Structure formats: structure tokens, C-alpha cells
């Protein structure tokens, strides 16, 4: 998808240097991928303390049971 963007040249040059990337396209694509990954990780961290697990759950037994089903 062709897109024209008005990017901050100073930030772009700095990102290219830090990331050792050669092109603006590569730099922007890498930045977008890292942005998405970071936001997804942040969403996972927000679940901390919100998921309740059964105290009687035996994860080792569950894992072994699933291995035998294969």
C-alpha cells in the first residue's frame, strides 16, 4: 500500500542509526512491528491478578495426559 507520510526526519535518522537499518521503509516497518509487539505484551500484563486458577489444578498431570492423547 503506497502511503505518503510526513515523518520527523530527526527521529527517523536516529531510529535508522540505532537499528542499523539502511532504508526508511525498513525502519518504519520494524518500528511498526515492535510497536505492535510491545502493545500486545502490555495487554497481557494488564491481565495480571485478574485470572483465577483452581488451586487443585495439577499442571504436570494435565500436560502428561495431553501427551498421551497424541
If one counts every other C-beta atom within 10 angstroms of the C-beta of residue 49, the result is 6
* Tens digits of residue pLDDT in 14-67: 999 999 999 999 999 999 999 999 999 998 888 888 888 788 888 888 887 776
Sequence-distant (6+) residues with CB within 8 A of 12 are: 24, 27, 28
Q: What is this structure's pTM?
A: 0.63
**Residue 51, C-alpha cell as written in the block:** 485470572
DSSP state of 5: -
Amino acid at each position: 500500500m503506497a502511503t505518503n507520510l510526513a515523518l520527523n526526519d530527526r527521529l527517523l535518522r536516529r531510529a535508522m542509526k540505532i537499528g542499523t537499518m539502511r532504508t526508511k521503509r525498513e525502519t518504519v516497518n520494524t518500528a511498526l512491528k515492535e510497536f505492535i509487539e510491545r502493545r500486545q505484551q502490555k495487554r497481557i500484563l494488564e491481565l495480571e491478578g485478574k485470572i483465577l486458577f483452581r488451586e487443585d489444578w495439577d499442571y504436570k498431570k494435565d500436560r502428561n495426559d495431553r501427551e498421551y492423547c497424541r
